[in-house]
C-alpha cells in the first residue's frame, strides 16, 4: 500500500505566473484535501475534493482552483502568483470524507520570487 505522494517537491516561480501541484492519494482513498502552510504557521485549509467534486472550501480566492481525477489523484492550480503564496502545500487523503484518518503527503515547497 503506497502512501500519499506529491510532486514536485520544490518549485520556484515568479510573481504573476501560474503553477500546478499534484497529489496521488493513498490507495483506496477517494477524498483529497489541500492545505497551505506558511513558514512558522499551522496549515490552512484550501479545499477538499470528494469523488471529483469540490466538497468544501476555505478562505482562499478563486485563483486557487483544483481538480480530482477518476483515479482520485488531484491537482491544485494557482493563477497570478503572489509573493505571499510562498508556502508548503500539503495534500491529505482520506476514505469517504472520514476526516479522522487524513493521511498527509510530504508537501510541495513553493517559492514565489
Specify whether the CB–CB gap between 110 and 63 falls below 8 A.
Answer: no
Degrees, nearest 5: CA angle 75-45-86: 70
Residues 28-47 interacting with another protein (rule: CB under 8 A):
31, 33, 35, 40-45
Specify whether the CB–CB gap between 110 and 85 falls below 8 A.
Answer: yes
Cell of 97: 470524507
Least spacing, CB of residue 100 vs another protein, in Å: 6
Q: Which residue's CB is nearer to another protein, number 78 or number 94?
A: 94
Specify whether the CB–CB gap between 89 and 108 falls below 8 A.
Answer: yes
60 makes contact with another protein (CB under 8 A) = no
Q: Which residue's CB is nearer to another protein, number 7 or number 18?
A: 7
Which chain residues interact with another protein by CB under 8 A? 4, 31, 33, 35, 40-45, 48, 50, 55-56, 58, 90, 92, 94, 97, 99-107
Amino acid at each position: 500500500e503506497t502512501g500519499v505522494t506529491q510532486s514536485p517537491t520544490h518549485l520556484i516561480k515568479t510573481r504573476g505566473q501560474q503553477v500546478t501541484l499534484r497529489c496521488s492519494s493513498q490507495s483506496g482513498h477517494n477524498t483529497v484535501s489541500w492545505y497551505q502552510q506558511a513558514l512558522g504557521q499551522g496549515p490552512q485549509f484550501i479545499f477538499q475534493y470528494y469523488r471529483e467534486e469540490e466538497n468544501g472550501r476555505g478562505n482562499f480566492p478563486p485563483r486557487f482552483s483544483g481538480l480530482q481525477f477518476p483515479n482520485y489523484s488531484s491537482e491544485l492550480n494557482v493563477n497570478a502568483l503572489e509573493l505571499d503564496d510562498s508556502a508548503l502545500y500539503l495534500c491529505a487523503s482520506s476514505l469517504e470524507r472520514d476526516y479522522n484518518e487524513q493521511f498527509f503527503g510530504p508537501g510541495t515547497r513553493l517559492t514565489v520570487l
